[in-house]
């Protein structure tokens, strides 16, 4: 049975979906179920291989982080994954990609059912990523900020041989500071631009976003990855935003000062990570575009999904090997190919999704 818990309190932002409120700035509800799965089980949830199921839609950038971390760390056998389809309604993400529209492990049609199994009157939005306790079929946590940190630091007994240290102790303070800055200025910054409810709010957030991207462009002119020669949690957090930028945020969210492809360091960094095992092989462009352009009816009322842009250049060469490189860290190695059941549909990859 899950530990006794109190659902997060409700407030005026009880609907977690991203919607435009006329005349207002976008304010993301950041109150999540903050239980943690740890080695010592301090919250009542001990790390146990096979006990939990990660629910992570490929369309969602916050969930994409967890899929990348799980791949890099080699947690596929210890932590199963369920993947909802790319669209949802105001109630919940649904398992419409699975046979019969039902998650084969949990037996649920909607992720909402896992939340209600723990909190009968859960008052907030039903979000991914979420980790569900399989025996009780009840949600444990949807705290996307903490989940990947715990996968890196608490699930070490289940890491693959050669797993990178994504959250090295000596760099944690700097990684945490960079992650906080990126969350507000970039990861959520694109949403602040896209869902601004007034011209003034839009222009303020637009300038803040591009100022942050300019800072990252400069930073990535000094090292291969955000923290130096090796991959860390910071790269796991930035990549899902960058890979969605030109297909979605540039046009759909009006973040259109220029394309990412016109920024040499950010674009080559994105291409580098896209072709790095564990990153690009988690990305499904068809699901990403369908999610944003179909679900956000207040921004795109026709729900027409664009055919472009041409994503083939993601597979072209990059210049990042000019920097000192130790991608996987001391004694680390690249992850093996994804499980056959988790391979992205080839029709949803760059060479096919734009008709090349």
For position 293, which CATH number holds? Answer: 1.20.1050.10
Instruction: Give the bridge partners for 93, in sequence order.
Output: 88
The Cα 187–Cα 241 span in angstroms is: 6
Distance of CA 33 to the CA centre of its chain: 17
Asked if residues 280 and 272 have their Cβ atoms less than 8 Å apart, the reply is no
Buried b / exposed e along 69-96 (16+ C-beta atoms within 10 A): bbbbbbbbebbbbbbbbbbbeeebbbbe
Binding site membership for glutathione: which residues?
93
Angle, alpha carbons 114-119-124 (nearest 5°): 85
Residue 153 inside a domain? The answer is no
Q: How many domains does the chain have?
A: 1
Cα–Cα distances (Å) from 191 to 194, 336, 337, 344, in that order, read: 5, 34, 32, 26
Distance of CA 247 to the CA centre of its chain: 16
Binding site membership: which residues?
93
Asked if residues 252 and 193 have their Cβ atoms less than 8 Å apart, the reply is no
Cα–Cα distances (Å) from 164 to 63, 148, 161, 339, in that order, read: 20, 13, 9, 19
Cα–Cα distances (Å) from 288 to 87, 92, 133, 276, 324, in that order, read: 9, 17, 27, 19, 33
Residue 30 inside a domain? The answer is no
Residue 54 inside a domain? The answer is no
Answer yes or no: pTM beyond 0.75. Answer: yes
Report, as residue numbers or ranges, the catalytic residues: 60, 191
Asked if residues 152 and 75 have their Cβ atoms less than 8 Å apart, the reply is no
Look at phi and psi of residue 175 and say left if phi exceeds 0, alpha if psi is from -120 to 50, else beta.
alpha
Asked if residues 229 and 323 have their Cβ atoms less than 8 Å apart, the reply is yes
Residue 118 inside a domain? The answer is no
Phi, psi of 200 (to 5 degrees): -65, -45
Which two tokens mark 55? 């629910």
Sequential pLDDT tens for the chain (356 residues) = 566 565 665 432 333 456 677 767 777 888 899 999 999 999 999 999 999 999 999 999 999 999 999 999 999 999 999 999 999 888 899 999 999 999 999 999 999 999 999 999 999 999 999 999 999 999 999 999 999 999 999 999 999 999 999 999 999 999 999 999 999 999 999 999 999 999 999 999 999 999 999 999 999 999 999 999 999 999 999 999 999 999 999 999 999 999 999 999 999 999 999 999 999 999 999 999 999 999 999 999 999 999 999 999 999 999 999 999 999 999 899 999 999 999 999 999 997 766 44
Residue 21 inside a domain? The answer is no
Residue 126 inside a domain? The answer is no
**Domain interval for residue 297:** 169-353
Residue 173 inside a domain? The answer is yes
Residue 249 inside a domain? The answer is yes
**Going by C-beta distance under 8 Å and a sequence separation of 6 or more, which residues neighbour residue 28?**
13, 18, 188, 191
């Amino acid at each position: 049975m899950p530990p006794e818990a109190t659902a997060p309190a409700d407030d005026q932002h009880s609907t977690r979906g991203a919607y435009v409120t006329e005349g207002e700035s976008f304010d993301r509800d950041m109150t999540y179920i903050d239980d943690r799965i740890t080695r010592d089980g301090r919250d009542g949830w001990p790390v146990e291989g096979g006990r939990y199921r990660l629910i992570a839609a490929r369309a969602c950038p916050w969930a994409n982080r967890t899929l990348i971390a799980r791949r890099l760390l080699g947690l596929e056998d210890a932590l199963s994954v369920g993947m909802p389809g790319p669209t949802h309604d105001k109630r919940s993400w649904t398992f419409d990609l699975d046979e019969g529209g039902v998650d084969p492990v949990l037996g649920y049609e909607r992720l909402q059912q896992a939340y209600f199994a723990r909190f009968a009157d859960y008052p907030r939005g039903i979000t991914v990523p979420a980790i569900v306790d399989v025996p009780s079929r009840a949600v444990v946590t949807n705290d996307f900020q903490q989940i990947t940190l715990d996968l890196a630091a608490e699930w070490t007994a289940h890491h693959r041989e050669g797993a990178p240290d994504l959250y090295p102790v000596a760099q944690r303070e700097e990684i945490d500071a960079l992650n906080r800055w990126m969350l507000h200025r970039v990861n959520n910054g694109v949403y602040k631009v896209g869902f601004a409810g007034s011209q003034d709010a839009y222009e303020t957030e637009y300038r803040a976003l591009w100022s942050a991207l300019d800072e990252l462009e400069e930073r990535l002119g000094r090292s291969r990855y955000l923290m130096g020669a090796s991959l860390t949690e910071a790269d796991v957090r930035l990549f899902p935003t960058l890979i969605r930028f030109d297909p979605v945020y540039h046009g759909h969210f009006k973040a259109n000062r220029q394309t990412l492809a016109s920024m040499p360091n950010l674009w080559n960094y994105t291409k580098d990570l896209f072709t790095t095992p564990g990153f690009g092989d988690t990305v499904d462009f068809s699901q990403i575009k369908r999610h944003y352009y179909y679900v956000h009816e207040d921004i795109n009322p026709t729900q027409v999904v664009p055919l472009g842009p041409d994503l083939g250049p993601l597979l072209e060469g990059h210049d990042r090997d000019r920097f000192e490189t130790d991608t996987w860290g001391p004694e680390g190695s690249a992850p093996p190919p994804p499980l056959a059941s988790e391979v992205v549909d080839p029709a949803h990859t760059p060479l096919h999704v734009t008709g090349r």
